Chains A and B, each alone.
Chain A
Amino acid sequence: MSELNILIVGVGGQGSLLASRILGSYCCAKGLDVKVSEVHGMSQRGGSVVTYVRAGERIDSPLIEQGGADVIISFEELEAFRYVGYLKKGGRVIANSQRIEPMPVIMGSAVYPENIPEKLADLGAEAVFIDALSLALEAGSAKAANVVMLGAASKYLGGSEEEWLAAVEKCVPARFLEMNKRAFLLGKNI
């Protein structure tokens, strides 16, 4: 692995912070230079959020450039579409098929785009959609959709199950650990 650039996008409150920390911990254990750029504050209140995870020999900027992401992990369908400009040629989008309508759509002043998977394909972006919400509920909580998505992404990021679960263990409080491990494996074994 020379350099790995992962964009995590979603809606504020969906758990991108935890997902980025697990990814950061995973990359750190590989002995790479790592930078993780998080979002705190106002945009956590239901706004569009983007978190950057970068790993490699030497990482300067904590941000990923347009056209620079090897993988985009999206916790929501529209957000996968919004940030597709960050995808590297030959990169991959792994998205939760859950739809959360933004306020302009709820108010009727904007329309939620239809057929996002097809639109992504038309743009030349390879995208996989997963019903992470159902799998998270199966694992024990809707809140674990973020970790389901990490499980799904791990298939494209390499690494052994043990390495990934060790990273989950490092970042998740003990009382939620088993549930999150289940969520990770459900995502991984789709």
Chain B
Amino acid sequence: MSEKTLMLGNASVARGLFEAGCSFVSSYPGTPSTEITEEVSDYSEVYAEWAPNEKVALEAAFGASLAGARAFAGMKHVGLNVAADPLFTASYTGVNGGLVIAVADDPGMHSSQNEQDSRHYAIAAKLPMLEPSDSCDCIEFTKKAFDISERFDTPVLLRMSTRVAHSQSLVSLGERILPQAHAYEKNIAKYVMMPANAKKRHVTVEERTLALAEFAENDSVNSVISGSDEIGIVAAGTGYLYAREALGDGASYLKLGMVNPLPLKKIAEFAKTVKRLVIIEELDPVIETAVRNAGIPCEGKELFSLLGEYTAEGIRRALLGIFTDAIAAPEVPARPPVLCPGCPHRGTFYVLKKLGLYVSGDIGCYTLGAAAPLSSVDLTLCMGASVSSLHGFLKAGGDPKKSVAVIGDSTFVHSGITGLVNIVYNQSPATVLILDNSTTGMTGHQQNPCTGLTLKNTPAPVLDLEALCTAVGVKRVRTADPGDIAELERVIKEELEADEPSVVIVKRPCALLKTVKHGAPLAVKDCRKCKACMKIACPAISFTKEKGAIIDASLCVGCGLCQQLCPFGAIVKEEK
């Protein structure tokens, strides 16, 4: 047996890409998918890049497939919404070199704005979808996905979820095997999807689905693990792990590695061998619905929730009525995520709150501007919606003197720019703040077109946001420093007053960047207990009746925002 290594699920997908001979990767970061692309960038044999958004990433990967490479795009579940347009038609054209798309769902919404189930995309776009359970599967299924892609001439979806993507388990490493060459050949009937061609390709898609269903019935990707015949579990991904943990040999399992199309004959055969057939799947009853439609009696969502993550103890309770003996969890104060100490944009949200504005917010760290006590943000919908929805808000009677959009730099490039074009084209006097922190923050510091570096840390041209906004026709474009609260307030007020579109690029690097030098921690001397500094909602500052404000030196990075708020000059550099 070869030596085993502990590897993260996402790193294992990256390893699978390497071993499969994949040579082109284009992705947009999004938890819990980000590390696939970060990890694959360490293999010098694989070209890898961050694209401005998921649609661009998938189309770039498609182009690479057309040119003959094994290609990959990775994204989170909501990223596939952005990439859905090329996805559905790439299903019709098929591929040249293998094309695999990883989509990472987030049951429980650890770091997401919704809990959508990506398996619906596989059904809707008529694409095969594989779903690994652990890191070992991640390597094997990634390689298998490329084989399926080339054998059946189809893009293949690889469905990840948070607990598979972000869990480490043991893997054995294999060699990189280069695929057979696929030279590009012009084929208008296959690749130009105008109606006459697409009608013929749709026939091919339906035939392919039947062939894939046959493959699913016979391939070892779907396997039976025999135990007791009292309960038969049909599950994939995390559902299989939790069920196996809960029931061990007290059940038999049909572990599905391929969740679309489903091996319905195999499921029917399995059902005959067990007394109870139970489908265990987080989120939507996708497998269950197909099984019921096939006339196979089963149990499923009458026992388990449509919401959130499952647990082994929950499965044991639902199926066996066994309750876990544990200390009852005490009631304690919640600890929600907050903007980091030293976050340059804490000052921005402070000003927005002070001015009492409607704040059209966006995805990323700045969603945290909605958290109490800053509570500045009114809306968070999806990437780019801050800008586009502000336009509609203003057209329908929203007060332009009291409304702003707030969007991060990477998010603006992802899909904020088109909303800004609309603001200029259809003329709303919107004020858009681009909070530029010189990185992609929430997902853990990825490079983007504004940072001057690529995924592989090679130099790249810097996208000039000021010139870009000017070029789309915004006449009032200016830059401000959120480190100077009074000045930022003055700038925002001026732009709100203007009767035309304006953009303020509020610029200061993320406090967590290694290149940012921090000052010495601050301390409070002779506090007058006015609580002015508390309005900044810094996690490093607490308050007691006896002592007034207290700064935790282990958290403070000396950014000095609180000093600007203290009317008595009581916040000073800590004396050593």
Question: Chain A residues in contact with chain B, CB under 8 A?
Answer: 11-13, 21, 24-25, 28, 33-48, 59-63, 65-68, 78-79, 81-87, 89, 98, 100-113, 119, 123-125, 133, 142
CA A40 to CA B9, docked complex, whole Å: 13
Option from A35, A46, A84 in Cβ contact (under 8 Å) with B338: A46
Which among B334, B371, B442 is the interface contact of A110 at CB below 8 angstroms?
B334
Distance A101 CA – B542 CA, assembled complex (angstroms) = 7
Closest partner residue, chain B, to A47 (CB atom): B337
Are B169 and A34 in contact (CB-based, < 8 A)? Answer: yes
Do residues B539 and A46 form an inter-chain contact, with CB atoms below 8 A? yes
**B34: chain A residues within 8 A (beta carbon):** 40
Asked if B327 contacts A84 (CB within 8 A), the reply is yes
- Residue-wise interface mask of B (16-39) relative to A, using a CB-CB cutoff of 8 A (1 in contact, 0 not): 000000000000000110110000
The reply to whether A24 and B6 contact each other, CB–CB distance below 8 Å, is yes
Q: Is A61 touching B170 in the complex (CB atoms < 8 A)?
A: no
B542 in contact with A142 (CB, 8 Å): no
State in angstroms the CA–CA spacing of A123 and B330 once bound together.
Answer: 9
* Contact between chains at A66 and B324 (CB < 8 Å): yes
Q: A residues within 8 A CB of B31?
A: 40-42
Does B430 sit at the interface, judged by CB under 8 A? no
Instruction: Return the chain A residue nearest B371 by Cβ.
Output: A103
Residues A113 and B111 in contact in the complex (CB < 8 Å), given A39-B166, A67-B325, A106-B539: no
B residues less than 8 Å from A66 (CB atoms) = 313, 324, 326, 329
A62 and B241 alpha carbons, distance in the complex (Å): 8
Across-interface contacts of A101 in B (CB, < 8 A): 539, 542
User: Does the CB pair A38–B168 fall under 8 Å?
Assistant: yes
- Does B6 lie within 8 Å of A85, measured CB to CB? no
Residues of A with C-beta under 8 A to B368: 45
Contact of B6 among A34, A61, A68, A108 (CB under 8 A): A34
Is B226 an interface residue, CB under 8 A from the partner?
A: no
Q: Which of B245, B326, B336 contacts A102 (CB 8 A)?
A: B336
Residue of A nearest to B247 (CB): A60
Most chain A CB atoms below 10 A, which of B245, B329, B337, B442:
B337
Per the 8 Å Cβ criterion, residues 427-475 of B in contact with A are 442-444
Q: What is the bound-complex CA distance between A135 and B331, given in angstroms?
A: 30
Question: Is the CB–CB distance between B110 and A103 below 8 Å?
Answer: no
Q: Are A65 and B6 in contact (CB under 8 A)?
A: no
| Distance (whole angstroms) from the CB of B165 to the closest CB of chain A | 8
Given the known inter-chain contacts A66-B326, A67-B326, please indicate yes or no for A103 contacting B338, CB distance below 8 A: yes
Give me 15 A-to-B residue pairs in the complex whose CB atoms sit less than 8 angstroms apart, sorted by A's number.
Answer: A11-B335, A37-B167, A40-B35, A41-B442, A42-B31, A59-B169, A63-B163, A67-B326, A78-B332, A83-B329, A84-B330, A89-B325, A103-B537, A106-B542, A107-B373
Question: In whole angstroms, what is the CA distance A11 to B340 when docked?
Answer: 12
Interface centre among B330, B371, B555 (most CB of A within 10 A): B330
| B568 beta carbon closer than 8 Å to chain A | no
Question: In angstroms, how far is the closest chain B Cβ from the Cβ of A53?
Answer: 9
* Chain B nearest CB, measured from A54 CB (Å): 10
Judge whether B168 and A43 touch: CB under 8 Å. no
Is B244 engaged at the interface, CB distance under 8 Å to the other chain? Answer: yes
Listed residue (B166, B170, B333) with the most chain A CB atoms within 10 angstroms of its CB = B333
A39 to B35, CA, bound (A): 12
Interface residues of B (CB under 8 A from A): 4-6, 8, 31-32, 34-35, 110-111, 134, 163, 166-170, 241-242, 244-245, 311-313, 324-330, 332-340, 365, 368, 371-373, 442-444, 534, 537, 539, 541-543, 552, 554-555
Cβ distance A151 to chain B, nearest Cβ, rounded Å: 19
Whether B312 and A40, one on each chain, are in contact in the complex, defined by CB atoms closer than 8 angstroms, is no
Query: Do A38 and B340 have beta carbons less than 8 Å apart?
Result: no
Residues on A with beta carbons closer than 8 Å to the beta carbon of B313: 65-66
| Distance of A28 Cα from B241 Cα, bound (Å) | 20
Asked whether A102 and B334 contact (CB < 8 A) given A33-B170, A35-B168, the answer is yes
Chain B residue at minimal CB-CB distance from A107: B373
Given contacts A61-B312, A125-B327, contact A42 B163 (CB under 8 A): no
Which residues of A are found within 8 Å of B168, using beta-carbon distances? 21, 24, 34-38
Residue contact A43 to B241, C-beta cutoff 8 Å? no
Asked whether, in the complex, the Cβ of A47 is within 8 Å of the Cβ of B6, the reply is no
Smallest CB separation, B173 vs chain A (Å)? 14
Complex contacts, B324 vs chain A, CB 8 Å: 65-68
Task: Report chain A residues within 8 Å CB of B541.
Answer: 106
Decide: B110 and A42 in contact? CB cutoff 8 A.
Answer: yes
Residues of A contacting B166 in the complex (Cβ-Cβ under 8 angstroms): 37-40
**Residues of chain A within 8 A of B169, CB atoms compared:** 33-36, 59, 62
In the complex, which of the residues B32, B163, B312, B334 contacts A41, with contact meaning CB atoms closer than 8 Å?
A: B32
Are A84 and B539 interface neighbours, CB within 8 A? no
Q: Could you say which of B8, B241, B365, B539 contacts A61, with CB atoms under 8 Å apart? A: B241
Which chain B residues border A24 with CB–CB below 8 Å?
6, 168
Q: Would you call A43 and B333 a contact (CB within 8 A)?
A: no
CA distance A35 to B242 in the complex (A): 13
CB distance from B510 to the nearest CB of A (A): 11
Q: Report A114 CB to chain B, min CB distance, Å.
A: 12
Query: CA of A120 to CA of B544 in the docked complex: distance in angstroms?
Result: 25
B543 and A110 contact, CB distance less than 8 A = no
Question: Which chain A residues border B332 with CB–CB below 8 Å?
Answer: 78, 81-82, 113
CB distance from B440 to the nearest CB of A (A): 12
Q: Which of B8, B330, B373, B534 contacts A82 (CB 8 A)?
A: B330
Instruction: Provide the bound-state CA to CA distance between A52 and B552, in Å.
Output: 28
Say whether, besides A106-B543, A119-B330, A123-B330, A41 and B111 are in contact (CB < 8 Å).
yes
Q: Are B335 and A48 in contact (CB under 8 A)?
A: yes
Contact present for A67 and B372 (CB under 8 Å): no
Minimum-distance CB pairs A-B, first 6: A67-B326, A41-B111, A41-B31, A47-B337, A110-B333, A61-B245
- Contact partner of A62 among B167, B554, B555, CB < 8 A? B167
Contact flag A47-B335 (CB < 8 Å), given A85-B328, A133-B554: yes
A103 in contact with B336 (CB, 8 Å):
yes
Pick from A37, A86, A89, A112: contact of B333, CB below 8 A.
Answer: A112
B333 touches A78 (CB 8 A): yes
Complex Cα distance A112/B544, Å? 12
CA distance A106 to B543 in the complex (A): 7
B337-A43 in contact (CB<8A): yes
How far, in angstroms, from A103 to B341 measured CA to CA in the complex? 12
Shortest B110–chain A CB gap in Å is 6
- A37 CA to B312 CA in the complex, in Å? 15
Report B-chain residues with C-beta under 8 Å of the C-beta of A102. 333-336
Contacts of B242 in A (CB 8 A): 60-61, 63
Q: How far in angstroms is the closest Cβ of chain A from B136?
A: 11
* A38:B334 contact, CB within 8 angstroms: no
Contact B340–A13 (Cβ < 8 Å): yes
